[in-house]
Structures are given as structure tokens and as C-alpha cells.
Amino acid sequence: MTGAWGALAPGPVLAAAEAAAAPGGHALRAVVIGAAVAASALAGVRWLRVAQREHYLPDAASRFAVRWWVRVPPNLAGLVVAVAGLVLADRFPAAGFATAAVVALGPVGLSLRGRSAPLAWTRRLRTLGALWALLVAAIVAGTTVGGIGPLAAAATALATPALVDLAGAVLAPVERRLGRPYVRRAEERLRRVRPTVVAITGSYGKTSTKGYVAHLVGGARPVVASPASFNNRAGLARAVNEHLAEGTEVFVAEMGTYGPGEIAELCAWVRPDVGVITAIGPVHLERFGSEDAIVAAKAEILAGVSAAVLVTDDARLARLADECAPEVKVWRVSGRDPGAEVGVVEGPDGLTVHVGGEEIARDVSLEARPGNVAAAVAVALQLGVERAEVARRLGTLPVAPHRLQPGVGPGGVVVLDDTYNANPAGGRAALAALGRLGADAGHRILVTPGMVELGRRQSEENAALAEEAAAVATELVVVGRTNRRALVRGADGTPVVVVRTREQATAWVRSHAGPGDVVLYENDLPDHYP
Amino acid sequence: MNASTARVAVVFGGPSPEHDVSILTGLQAARELAGERRPVEALYWSKTGEWWRVGATLEAADFVEGVPRGAEGLRLVSGGEGAGFVPAGGRLGRPRPLPLDVVVNCCHGGPGEDGTLQGALDLAGMAYTGPGVAAAALGMDKLAFAGMAAAAGLPVLPRVLLRHDTDHVGFDGPYIVKPRFGGSSIGIDVVEDLATARARLGANPHLRRGAVLEPYRPELADLNVAVRAWPSPVLSAVERPLRTTAAAEILGYADKYVGGEGMASAPRQLPAELEAPVAAALRAVALAVVDLVEVRGVARIDFLAAGAELYLNEVNTIPGSLARYLWVEPAVRFIDLLDALVTEAVERPSARHSAAGADGSVLRSAGGIAAKLA
């Protein structure tokens, strides 16, 4: 193989190869190895950040590496150069410079330390970084002794994402063990304070529903809700250890899941009394495989509860309700059927809330999603809050920050901020709000990078989103590359503006929208997405 | 030792509904002391009762999610050798308590303001600012405070204990229902009649530990004044807080604290324009309270007034922001106020435990315990 390349190589390269083989070549080889290690260091910072942003999930860095290197054309060209350099490096060590240079500079667009979500040198990241560096050092040292230093060093640099993931896989059990004392403390604390525990999961609507429950119950009983993003093992342990004060009677825990078994593991020590599932959607589909697997993973929250609250507008949750054990009190609630046990329906002036078919409140904030409100009302009633008190507090329901909160931006533009939403159903609801608020506006603008983590359905879902947007919006601003093709395809006919960053999108809106115009910011992707 | 060389620890947070406001007070005090290059530690007391040593120049946002990054665990050890705030970490050797001279107590509500923390610090032999055990407990008990004030002849509105079976009080509605224990306006309700008041007892979690009832007089407006007792009693300017939310019937917690820096940024008239007789009466009552409660540190005394009417409402023994914003006439810089508190903490001990008289004579003549039980 190298012989063939050698035969094809033009004269000057041959000369360089000979020089490398000569004693002076040791210096060259050393410099190539040095350059490759330096490139590794830069790449390490980049991909460690991606691993951190992706919650240290297995293969996170590698998945994003494919996204960045393969799917972004300029980077693909760089990748070709880097691989070519690698192939040549064995025969011509100098070719390793090409690989090192590409790895040091690329992928273009993925910033080194991050702007929207900067690298944070936490204890966990330092440990991961140290192990990765150790791996790199071992490979480079070993191969240099073995005589293939330049090739191996360049390969190590190019394979940084895979090595970061490997280090992560090695450390995963260690991290679990390190977290155990916190979980044990939290378990003790729950035992001592003895709150009634409400656990909420769902593909979307968890955080809003949690806020509604805390609000509806808070007037009658001391409540603590887990803070916004504390929805995994470490987060919930911290929420209990730091927020569950003595005298707390109700603890509302939000539980997220990236895979089967995770919620069951949380429930083993959080021990919910009331389990709530708000909705099932294709969020994180690529990690679960199928929506049935998602339903099964969410259903883990119902093991051992004395009451279950299920938004049965989804047929799969209705089926789950039928499967609950007879001793479990099941609340079948709905975001569209006023006849449900708790039914919340959308009217022109707000939501109307029914309990057992009887209206208890009307004109509740339209920005709240009916299914979530229904679930929260059911939880409050289950916890013994009087119906009149629930009705009274429905009037002041908190609309969670970033969850479809209308505001007026500079220049009188009405801004609908739905940037924390990451699911298609939420996107549809937001589009409806855009249509409603912007009924008389000259411009109704949708700004979005699209939705992610939808597995094979991602392209299809984003095209569908753009198609629905086309019916409502006057312009569609597509941010970034991740879903550009699908969104542009779906928006067929509606003017589309394509920009690289959120900042550019905002600038475009500033210069094109005026007083009374409405702009919807739908989802936001951190800058480790292309 | 003087105020500028004393090793000071600012304590804030605590398992209290006013935990968050206390963080603001504590960070202000710590920042002010650190800015003047005083040796200062910031000790955060979490909602779950744990102690943490944190940076003295942190921002409020660092506490939004709980214990800030980089915090170091501590234990509060009361009594005996090695008492004080002791680092929890060290596995090698026995950790020593932080070298501290004075604790600046910035806790509001809950066990930081009701005498519990004060008791622990007294037992640990630590000097601290603010009320001692008795003053703190009295200031936190609205029923006891009003009763004592009435007994001392000070003007107060009727205030009675509200129970599940209360069916008669000596005055007509509408009424204000307040938690008996607790600092700020959290948990206060205005109700039309006694039946509604009793119903609130079950529905309002803040009333669980007890509630008091008093007449609701919408025409009465708040007047606040801060007081210092040491070295000699002095009063701040009088403040008239203004209500922002038209719908709210009384000055609520949100009016006071939500939206920025705490009370320093709430709307107010300061100094309040008062008729001379009202100003004189207020001054006399405030000075009487200083002695009755044994004010230590800085306290805020709240009044209700309309025209020539003036009523003593309550005393706040560790007020928000340590009432620093009230010291405009006479003007006192915050650092000078803190220095004065630190000096007072050292010069005027909060507790004088005495074993005088326990000289063993009782023990010598006691005979056997079994004989006493017989």
C-alpha cells in the first residue's frame, strides 16, 4: 500500500520521505507528533464541552462529531484532507501536519469554549479530561516507542470524540459510585421530613405542570418543588438535600429520562405517592428506539404509587390508565374533554376547568396548556386541597419563564418566547398562539432552528412544523444547519430567511418587524449544534 | 480587638420562609465588609439546616439553585472544646473551628431570628450581633409582644389568639389574620368575619403554628423606624412605605422584597412628613420598646397611623437589609453601622450564664437520691 503511494508520489515528496527516513527525520517526526498532540488538546476542549452539554451520555461526542464533520459541507472537505493526511502519515510523517491542522481548526462553526453554553470546569469534567489526556499520552508514548508515532498521534487527534466517549464510558460506574452518598443522604432526609411525594414525568409539559401543582397546593400545604433542571438522579438528590426544609408536606419532583430503567431507579428512593404523566412524544426518540419504549419508560413512575394522574387524550396513556392496579386511584384527565374527571378546554377568553363535568373556574390564562392544567388540578384535589381553593388559585397560575410568555420587545414588536420548548406538539400550540396574537399584524414571523433528538422522524417532523408554520406565519427564519433542509422543504411557498446564528436571526427581525408585529422564537439550540 | 480587626462571619439564609431575603441582607453586609478589607467569612445556612462556608462576594444569582458552587461544608458545634463553626471536610486530624470573633446575624424569620440560633451561639461561646435569645423570641411572637406592650401602657390595637373554636372577640370585623410566629408579611389574610378567619386556619399553611386576629383598619398606614440601643438609644428617620399593588389590601411580602434589592428599592416616603405630636409620640413609644424588648443590634419598629392616631404594631429584631436604608437622618454609612454592631457584640455580651450560688452546699446536705425518690 505505502509502496503504491510511494510510486505515485511526485519527486519532491519522495525526497521528503527519504529525508524522514534519514537520521534528521527524527526531528520531523517529533515535530509532527508535537503538532498532533497540540491539535488533540484543542479538540479535547471542544469535545469535552460537547460531552458536558449532552449530560455525559454515552457516545454523545461521537454522535455530534458525525453531525459536524460529515453533514456540514466545508467540514466534510476538511475531514477528507485529515483522513488523507492520516493515510499518508505512515510513509510521509509530514502529512500528519495536515491532519493536525484540520483537527486543530475544525470543525468550523463549533466554537472552542462555547458562547451560549460555555465550558464549565466542574469536578466531573476535570476527571473526564484527565482520563482522556491519560489515554492520549499512553497511545502517543506507546506508538512512538513502536515506531508509528506520527500516524498514531494524528489518528489520536482525529479520534478525539471517540476517545472522550471511551473515557466517559470507563468513568460512568465511578461517577455513579461518587453520587451514591448524596442519594443516600437524600433518602434519609425524605424519610425524616416525610412529605407526600408527587412525581411528574412526560415528554413535555413536566416543568409547567410542576409549577402549577406547586402553585395550586402551595396555598394550603407547605410545598417544595424541585428546581427547573434538577430532574435526574444527581439533581433530585440535590433538590432534596438543599431545598426540602423541615415541615415540608408536599415534594413535587420532576423526573426526566433518557433511557429505560432511569425513572424506576429514581422512584426506588424518591418513592412517589402520586405519579403524573403529562404527555408522550417523540422527544429523545433516538435514544429510545420507539415510542412504545418511551411509554414503558415513563410508566415506571407509576410503580408503587397510590394515585396516578394521566392525561388520557393520548390513547397510549388511556391504555396505561386501564392497566393500573385496582388499589391505585386513577385520575383520567383531559385537555379537551370537559366530561373527563378533570377536563380543561380552551375557549376564546381562556381555559375553562371542569371537575367531574362541573365547571369550577373559567378564564384561566390561555398561555397555559390545557392538559397540564388538568393534571395539576387532579394532583391538588388528590392531595386534599378544597375545590374552591383550587378554583381561587387557578386565577393566578404562573406562566413559566420561556414557556410561551408574550412580551413586547424593542420597537414595539410582540415577542412570543417559546425557546425552551423542544417538541412538535408544543410547537403547534405556539404557532396557534402566533396566529391568535398576530391576527391583525403585518408580519407574523417564526424564528426556529427546528426540533432535535427525534431520531428517524426528525426530518419529517421539522418539515411538518414548517408546513404548519407556512399556514400561519408570513416569514420563516431558519437558524443554523441542523434542520435547515427539512424546514426549507416544509415551508414551501412562504418566504424563508436562512441565518447561521440566533443573533443573526434577532438582527433580521429587528430590521424587518415593526410595532404590532409578532415574532415567535420556537426552540433554541445550544451552540454545540451545527 | 476593635471593629475593623475583628474576625467577622456574616451568617444568612436558614430554614425560614424569609431565607431568600436573608441571603440578600447577608450578601450586602459581607460585600460591604469585604470592600473595606475587613477579615470576613460568609456562612450560608441552607434551607435544610446545613452550614456552608461560601465566598463573601457572591451574587444572589449564585444561590438560585441552592448551595452555590465551591461551598465548603461546616458544622455548628455548641459547647465544649472546639465549639464554633467547624469545617466538616478534613479526614486527617481533628478540624479546628474557624477563627472568628463575631457572628453578624443576617437571618430573617425562622430559627435565625427567633432565639434558636442565638441559643446555639450562646452555648458555643460566640459573640454575635442582633437580639439575644429572649429578645429574639419575644420579637417573633406577635401575641406576646402585643400583650407586653399593652401591659406597659403603649398604644396597640387589640390582638387575640385565633383558635378553631374562637367564636367571640371583643371587636368587629373585618379582621386581619396573621401567623402568630414569623417575621414579614407572609401568610397575612384579610377576612370579613370570624367564620372565614377560622376557615383560613385550616387552609393557610403559615397559620399552622398559631394565628392572631386583629381589627382590619384600612385607613391606617404603615410607619417604620429603626432603632439602635448601644451605646445609647438612637432613632433613624421615619419611613412611610407606599403600597404599589392597588389590589393588595395590606403591604405584602412582594411589595417589600420582590423586584430588586429588597426594601432599599421599595417605594416610600423617607423621611415621612409627620405632625409634630405624632412624631413625638412615635419617638417615645419606640424608645420604650428599646428597653422593653432589650433591643440589641438594629431593630425596626413598625407602627400604624392615621391622623392623630398611632398604634405600635410589631418589632423586627433583625430587619431586612439591617434597615440600613433608614439611616438618612442622622446619616449613617452601612460600614459604620456594621462596625457599630460588631463593637456592640463584643462589648455587650448577649448572654451571661452564671453558676454563682451553686456552691455545692445543696449537694452536700442532700443525702441519697434513693431516699429522695422514696
DSSP 3-state of B355:
coil
In the CATH hierarchy, which top-level class contains the domain B8-128? Answer: alpha beta
Residue A8 has pLDDT above 50, yes or no: no
B128 strand-pairing partners: B103
Structure confidence at residue A122 (pLDDT): 83
Whole-number mean pLDDT of chain B? 89
Beta-carbon contacts of residue A4 (< 8 Å; ≥ 6 apart): none
Compare B94 and B251 and report the one with higher pLDDT: B94
Q: Residue B48 is nearest to which of A189, A218, A219, comparing CB atoms?
A: A189
Q: In chain B, what residues touch A249 (CB-CB under 8 Å)?
A: 205
| Tens of pLDDT, residues B252-293 | 555 555 544 445 556 788 899 999 999 999 999 999 999 999
pLDDT-based confidence at residue A124 (cuts at 50, 70, 90): confident
Q: Residue B279: is it exposed, middle or buried by C-beta count within 10 angstroms (0-12/13-18/19+)?
A: middle
Domain boundaries, chain A: 2-173, 194-394, 405-522
Chain B nearest C-alpha distance from A282 (Å): 29
Query: For the residues B63-76, what does the mean pLDDT come to?
Result: 91
Grid coordinates representing A15 are: 525526497
DSSP 3-state of B248:
coil
Beta-carbon contacts of residue A399 (< 8 Å; ≥ 6 apart): A365, A367, A368, A405
Structure confidence at residue B253 (pLDDT): 54
Task: Check CB contact of B47 with chain A, cutoff 8 Å.
Answer: yes
Residue A395 has pLDDT above 60, yes or no: yes
Residue A11 has pLDDT above 80, yes or no: no
Considering only CA atoms, which of A499, A494, A504 is closest in space to residue A482? A499
Contact A227 B65 (CB under 8 A): yes
Query: For the residues B78-105, what does the mean pLDDT come to?
Result: 85
| Tens of pLDDT, residues A419-478 | 877 777 778 888 888 888 888 878 899 999 988 877 777 888 889 888 888 888 888 999
Alpha-carbon distance of A416 to A521, in angstroms, equals: 6
| Tens of pLDDT, residues B145-157 | 999 999 999 999 9
Structure confidence at residue B352 (pLDDT): 78
Structure confidence at residue B205 (pLDDT): 83
B305 strand-pairing partners: B221, B310
Alpha-carbon distance of B96 to A265, in angstroms, equals: 39
Q: Long-range contacts of range A63-71, CB-CB < 8 Å, 24 or more positions apart?
A: A64/A161, A64/A528, A64/A529, A65/A107, A65/A161, A65/A162, A67/A482, A67/A529, A67/A530, A68/A106, A68/A107, A68/A109, A68/A110, A68/A530, A69/A106, A69/A107, A71/A481, A71/A530
Amino acid at B166: T
Residue B247 has pLDDT above 60, yes or no: no
Q: In chain B, what residues touch A244 (CB-CB under 8 Å)?
A: 47-48
How far apart, in Å, are the Cα atoms of A9 and each of A15, A16, A81, B187? 10, 11, 16, 84
Looking at A194-250, list the stretches that DSSP marks H as alpha helix, in order from N- to C-terminal side: 206-218, 233-243
State the Cα angle at A57 between A56 and A59, rounded to 5°. Answer: 110
Q: Which DSSP symbol is given to B328?
A: B
Structure confidence at residue B254 (pLDDT): 55
Q: Which residues of B100-127 are buried (b: 16+ CB within 10 A; e: fewer)?
A: bbbbbbbbbbbbbbbbbbbbbbbbbebb
Contact A245 B48 (CB under 8 A): yes
Q: Quick check: A112 and A528 in contact, CB under 8 A?
A: no
Alpha-carbon distance of A238 to B306, in angstroms, equals: 49
Q: In chain B, what residues touch A227 (CB-CB under 8 Å)?
A: 64-66
Q: Residue B203 is nearest to which of A220, A238, A241, comparing CB atoms?
A: A220
Q: In chain A, what residues touch B65 (CB-CB under 8 Å)?
A: 227, 230
Quick one: what percent of chain B has pLDDT higher than 70? 92
Strand order in the sheet with B234-241: B268-269, B234-241, B221-228, B298-306, B309-316
Start-to-end Cα distance in chain B: 55
Query: For the residues A340-361, what does the mean pLDDT come to?
Result: 91
DSSP 3-state of A98:
helix
Structure confidence at residue A23 (pLDDT): 42
CB pairs under 8 A between A and B: 39
Least-confidence region, from A346-350, A422-426, B53-57, B229-233: A422-426
| Tens of pLDDT, residues A479-530 | 988 888 889 888 888 888 889 888 889 889 888 888 888 889 888 887 788 7
In the CATH scheme, what architecture does the domain B131-140+218-344 have? 2-Layer Sandwich (3.30)
Strand order in the sheet with A223-225: A223-225, A250-254, A196-201, A274-277, A307-311, A329-334, A342-347, A350-355, A358-364
Alpha carbon A182 to its chain centroid, in Å, reads: 25
Alpha-carbon distance of A164 to A143, in angstroms, equals: 19
CATH number belonging to the domain at A405-522, selected among 3.40.50.970, 3.40.50.2300, 3.90.190.20, 3.40.605.10: 3.90.190.20
Q: Quick check: B282 and B223 in contact, CB under 8 A?
A: yes
Contact B66 A239 (CB under 8 A): yes
| Tens of pLDDT, residues B282-330 | 999 999 999 999 999 999 999 999 999 999 999 999 999 999 999 998 7
Least-confidence region, from A331-340, A369-378, A514-523, B172-181: A514-523
Least-confidence region, from A76-85, A181-190, B184-193: B184-193
How far apart, in Å, are the Cα atoms of A104 and each of A48, A158, A200? 14, 9, 44
Pairing of the two strands B8-13 and B102-105: parallel
Alpha-carbon distance of A351 to A374, in angstroms, equals: 10
Residue A318 has pLDDT above 50, yes or no: yes
Alpha-carbon distance of A416 to A432, in angstroms, equals: 11
Alpha-carbon distance of A98 to B192, in angstroms, equals: 82
Alpha-carbon distance of B181 to B214, in angstroms, equals: 15
Contact B48 A221 (CB under 8 A): no
Q: Residue B203 is nearest to which of A189, A241, A389, comparing CB atoms?
A: A389
Nearest-Å Rg of the Cα atoms of chain B is 22
Beta-carbon contacts of residue A463 (< 8 Å; ≥ 6 apart): A486, A487, A489, A490
Grid coordinates representing B87 are: 469545617
Q: Which of A123-127, A293-297, B21-25, B355-359 has the highest mean pLDDT?
A: B21-25
Amino acid at A327: E
Nearest-Å Rg of the Cα atoms of chain A is 27
Structure confidence at residue A15 (pLDDT): 44
Half-sphere CA count of A82, side-chain side, radius 13 A: 27
Structure confidence at residue B164 (pLDDT): 93
For residue A228, give the chain B residue with the closest CA: B65
Q: Quick check: A146 and A133 in contact, CB under 8 A?
A: no
* The CATH fold of domain A194-394: UDP-N-acetylmuramoyl-L-alanine:D-glutamate ligase (3.40.1190)
Q: In chain B, what residues touch A241 (CB-CB under 8 Å)?
A: 48, 50
Structure confidence at residue B20 (pLDDT): 94
Query: For the residues A359-368, what does the mean pLDDT come to?
Result: 83
Torsion angle, alpha carbons of A378, A384, A389, A390, to 10: -10
DSSP track, A404-450: SEEEE-GGG-EEEEETT--SHHHHHHHHHHHHHHTTT-S-EEEEE--
Quick one: what percent of chain A has pLDDT higher than 70? 93
Q: Quick check: A412 and A514 in contact, CB under 8 A?
A: yes
Pairing of the two strands A518-522 and B51-54: unpaired
Q: Is the dihedral of CA A374, A380, A383, A388 positive or negative?
A: negative
Grid coordinates representing A52 are: 458536558
Structure confidence at residue B333 (pLDDT): 93
DSSP 3-state of A524:
coil
Task: Check CB contact of B70 with chain A, cutoff 8 Å.
Answer: no
Amino acid at A302: L
- In this chain, the answer to whether the domains covering B8-128 and B158-216 adopt an identical fold is no
Whole-number mean pLDDT of chain A? 86
Contact B66 A238 (CB under 8 A): yes
Residue B40 has pLDDT above 90, yes or no: yes
Quick one: what percent of chain A has pLDDT higher than 90? 40
Mutate to test the interface with B, among A121, A189, A229, A243 (most CBs of B within 10 A): A243
Whether a cis peptide bond, with omega within 30° of 0, leads into B131 is no
Query: For the residues A397-424, what does the mean pLDDT come to?
Result: 75
Amino acid at A464: A
Grid coordinates representing A365 are: 390564562
In the CATH hierarchy, which top-level class contains the domain B158-216? Answer: alpha beta
Q: What is the ipTM of this complex?
A: 0.71
- Please tell me the pTM assigned to this model: 0.75
Q: Quick check: A270 and A236 in contact, CB under 8 A?
A: yes
Q: Quick check: B163 and B210 in contact, CB under 8 A?
A: no
Alpha-carbon distance of A366 to A350, in angstroms, equals: 5
Domain boundaries, chain B: 8-128, 131-140+218-344, 158-216
Q: Which residues of B31-41 are buried (b: 16+ CB within 10 A; e: fewer)?
A: bbbbeeebbbb
pLDDT-based confidence at residue B58 (cuts at 50, 70, 90): very high
Contact A227 B48 (CB under 8 A): no
Alpha-carbon distance of A390 to A398, in angstroms, equals: 14
Task: Check CB contact of B354 with chain A, cutoff 8 Å.
Answer: no
Structure confidence at residue B117 (pLDDT): 97
Backbone φ, ψ for residue A256 (5° rounding): -100, 160
Q: Quick check: A357 and A389 in contact, CB under 8 A?
A: no
Query: For the residues A47-72, what does the mean pLDDT come to?
Result: 87
Alpha-carbon distance of A519 to A14, in angstroms, equals: 61
Residue B100 has pLDDT above 50, yes or no: yes
Least-confidence region, from A462-466, B7-11, B246-250, B316-320: B246-250
Q: Quick check: A341 and A333 in contact, CB under 8 A?
A: yes
| Tens of pLDDT, residues B175-203 | 999 999 976 677 888 999 999 999 888 78
Q: Residue A392: is it exposed, middle or buried by C-beta count within 10 angstroms (0-12/13-18/19+)?
A: middle
Quick one: what percent of chain B has pLDDT higher than 90? 68
Structure confidence at residue A510 (pLDDT): 87
For residue B189, give the chain A residue with the closest CA: A219
Beta-carbon contacts of residue A445 (< 8 Å; ≥ 6 apart): A473, A474, A475, A476, A477, A509, A512, A513, A517, A518, A519, A520
Q: In chain B, what residues touch A221 (CB-CB under 8 Å)?
A: 205
Query: For the residues B91-106, what does the mean pLDDT come to?
Result: 87
